[in-house]
Structure 1
Amino acid sequence: MYTIDKPLIEYNQMKIEQLLQLYEFLGFIYPEKRKRLDPVMTLIKENWTKALHANYPLFWVGTIVENDKNIVSTATCWQYLNKGMLGQHLASNHPVGSRLIFLNILQKVIENQLINTIDSYQIYYRPQNKYSARMFEPLSSRLGSDLSQIIFYTYCEVPFIKEFLVEEVEISEVDEANRQQFLEFVQMERGEAYIKAQELDSADLTLERLNKKFTMHGLQRKRSLFMACSKKDSKVRGVIISNQSSLGLNFSFLENSSELILDKSSEKYHLTVARLLLGKASSLFPQFPLNYLPVLVDPVHCRLIEKLQGKVIREYNLFIILRGGYESWYEHADNLTRAIYQRFVGQSYERSVTN
């Protein structure tokens, strides 16, 4: 393992105020993002303070300790599902730092994948991020659809929509009675790796077990799932997966995102189904601190969101990897790190000699 003269990474040692200063120093919290966070910053600080006491595997923030190379880096990982992790907030003042802290987190996942049953790991990243593209995309292609997948999303803010009824379409919560129909639709629209990673084939669809763990720390993490079927032929026309968590565990509010998946084979019901499902999702947040619903949709449906007075914010890719691929991922990340680390150490040595 790479070192910088002493143990490299420490976990959950910083308070949220220190982390916020670090994020701003590294440019991870930029003025526009700060503006979006400020109205709910007090609540975010409260939730992060609780989360930082939860520690591994529920919520862990890695930071590179003070070192003579002046590398400053941080990354967060938390238990997003009963058997799945979500990585986020990777920031550094040098490419070496990003790679070192990422390798350390990945090593921890590999060492504990059987002990803590880590069946999946997911990361949202911006498509234009070259580092993320090199880290995830070649690997996903090499592992194939059995172990990995990349899904393209548009992230939107949608005003809350009042629930309503229509004669042509029926909305129902996903349960054991309609689970198979739901899974067949998601399989067609997203694929098998997605179903496994999101644990849509598990007995605990609403994440009750995970929510109990978070509740012990004064937090919550649960979800609700609904599908829309045409009454004429009982065909699924769309589904929505609504995440409900303590606000701000992710600074883009992805922890409370609702993923809207519409039937690509027919556009006839798209607008009606989108409005119905988003109305159902809106009803889950009666006292939500934000004045909008964070929504993830396929990029092709951006115009639908705009018709519902929603605002398109940015594009995200979601990298999914399943257990069985972690070791290949580490090898890939290690290869990306080795050359740049050796170059960095060489440059540091040259500076120390010439100064």
Structure 2
Amino acid sequence: MTVSAVADRIASRTWSDFGCAVNALPPVELFDRYERSRFLYPAKRARLAPYWSLILENWQRARRAGELLHWVASYDEPGGGWASLSSWRSTHGGWQTQHLVSSGTLAGGRAVMLAAQAIRVAERQDVAAQNWFSPSNRFAARAFGSIERNLGPARSLVVPGDYVMVPLTLARALPPVGSVGTVTELDAGACPELADLARRCRGEVYVRAEGLDRDDLRLTDVDRLYRLVGLRRHRRVWALYDASGTVRAAALAYRGPLGFNFSFLENRCDLLVAPGLDPTEVRRATDTLLAAACHAYADFEPAAVPLATTTPIDHLILAGAESVRPYTRALWLAEAYPDLYRHIDELYAQRLHGRGVYPRSSA
């Protein structure tokens, strides 16, 4: 079946056509299911415990906005099996899809994933979507780690990297900029130099998915939507310029409702460092930008900068930063949605015929 035929076939379908409901589960019930399925395993639950009431409140507030900010697709079988998938608005036209959980059903996982993709096709308002997964998760690695091959590099991107919690006390104590360059916090307008750096580091898919080709770097319009229910979503950006005025590195500090993602990826700090810098320059750029970006996290409850990076950060680990885990990031543009639908459908078809790997739950 061609891409256009897939798009036409699914463009008019609704959640119920897949046997799914949207935002039907109150967060308390959803979180209870997470725990019973061990998606929310004891160690992670303990890590979230100091912030649990705030996380619950944030999910409850977002639910008041319907599908505008945050949606949870769920599927229930008569025999007790269930599955769910959630997604939240990350940028103007970008969504972060996460928390795929399936317990006692293969059909449920297939249903929520296909329904979610079909609805996004039907809406025709997205620019891109993304998710983050552990490379050790075999299903996620197979489903999303292969998208550049299945969807094409012009429409998708896979970025392996590390995710590290840098305590604010450490970030604030990092050495000053010195001779590495000049750090400037960017205003809300467009910054072609930043977009060019992002293209050199990650490519055009990343630029579009993160809205770096727009004139609202601080996500002010998105923040207005979140404020409707008493939440915030914004971004601050620091750029490191060399003596010639070229942007050599940047830190993109995202702030959002704590616990939208149970690894706090809604509050991550993306670090971009230009290719070709030597190791000393990379370290100086990293430290300099962290020292600047920590100002965006002064009121962040875990008192750390959640740093997402593809550059070496061993010196930060040695200095006391916590390595959370390796994370791989998958991004795909809206024009690839029908192909992703077909890709996911084929994976589940293989599993239904006894091939492939499907874990009990995946993030």
After TM superposition, the score normalised by the length of structure 1 is 0.88
Distance 2:252 2:18 in 1: 41
In structure 1, the partner of 2:66 is 55
1:9 and 2:17 matched = no
Asked if the contact 1:96/1:340 (under 8 Å) is kept, the reply is: no
Structure 2: 5+ residue stretches without partners: 1-9, 356-363
- Counterpart of 1:118 (choices 118, 123, 126) is 126
Distance 1:134 1:37 in 2: 29
In structure 2, the partner of 1:350 is none
In structure 2, the partner of 1:133 is 141
Distance 1:276-1:294 versus aligned 2 partners, 3 A rule: same
Asked if the contact 2:147/2:157 (under 8 Å) is kept, the reply is: no
Distance 1:112 1:74 in 2: 20
Q: Deviations over 1:242-287 (max 9, x none)?
A: 0011211111100000011223312232222212211221111222
Distance 1:124-1:157 versus aligned 2 partners, 3 A rule: same
Q: Deviations over 1:186-208 (max 9, x none)?
A: 21111111111111011111111
SS of the counterpart of 1:269?
Answer: helix
The residue correspondences of 1:128-167 to structure 2 (distance < 5 A) are 128-160=136-168, 161-162=171-172, 165-167=176-178
Distance 2:32 2:97 in 1: 20
Asked if the contact 1:261/1:297 (under 8 Å) is kept, the reply is: yes
CA shift at 1:341, angstroms?
A: 4.3
SS of the counterpart of 1:252?
Answer: coil
Distance 1:176 1:47 in 2: 26
Matched letter for residue 128 of structure 1? S
Range that drifts further, 313-322 or 332-341: 332-341
1:226 and 2:247 matched = no
Asked if the contact 1:73/1:98 (under 8 Å) is kept, the reply is: yes
CA shift at 1:307, angstroms?
A: 4.4
1:26 and 2:34 matched = no
SS of the counterpart of 2:261?
Answer: coil
CA shift at 1:53, angstroms?
A: 1.4
Distance 1:285-1:335 versus aligned 2 partners, 3 A rule: same
Superposition CA RMSD, Å: 2.4
Distance 1:8 1:176 in 2: 42
In structure 1, the partner of 2:358 is none
1:88 and 2:114 matched = no
Q: Deviations over 1:295-323 (max 9, x none)?
A: 1011x413133244211110111111102
Distance 1:83 1:97 in 2: 27
- Counterpart of 2:301 (choices 286, 289, 296) is 289
1:42 and 2:25 matched = no
Asked if the contact 1:237/1:269 (under 8 Å) is kept, the reply is: no
Q: Which structure: larger Rg?
A: 1
Asked if the contact 2:188/2:218 (under 8 Å) is kept, the reply is: no
Q: Deviations over 1:161-214 (max 9, x none)?
A: 227743422101234888222222221111111111111011111111111000
Structure 1: 5+ residue stretches without partners: 345-355
Distance 1:177-1:326 versus aligned 2 partners, 3 A rule: closer
In structure 2, the partner of 1:171 is 183
In structure 2, the partner of 1:195 is 207
Distance 1:37 1:241 in 2: 24
In structure 1, the partner of 2:87 is 77
SS of the counterpart of 2:39?
Answer: coil
Distance 1:6 1:212 in 2: 32
Distance 1:71-1:176 versus aligned 2 partners, 3 A rule: closer
Distance 1:69-1:191 versus aligned 2 partners, 3 A rule: same
Structure 1 residue ranges (4+ consecutive) displaced by more than 6 angstroms after TM superposition: none
Distance 1:307-1:53 versus aligned 2 partners, 3 A rule: same
1:68 and 2:68 matched = no
Aligned length: 336
1:271 and 2:283 matched = yes
Asked if the contact 2:270/2:309 (under 8 Å) is kept, the reply is: yes
SS of the counterpart of 1:158?
Answer: strand
Q: Deviations over 1:78-107 (max 9, x none)?
A: 111101111011111143322221111111
Q: Identity of paired residues, percent?
A: 25
Asked if the contact 1:107/1:330 (under 8 Å) is kept, the reply is: yes
Distance 1:306-1:211 versus aligned 2 partners, 3 A rule: same
Q: Deviations over 1:17-42 (max 9, x none)?
A: 11111101111111111111001111
Distance 1:242-1:155 versus aligned 2 partners, 3 A rule: same
Asked if the contact 2:297/2:304 (under 8 Å) is kept, the reply is: no
Distance 2:144 2:91 in 1: 21
Matched letter for residue 78 of structure 1? W
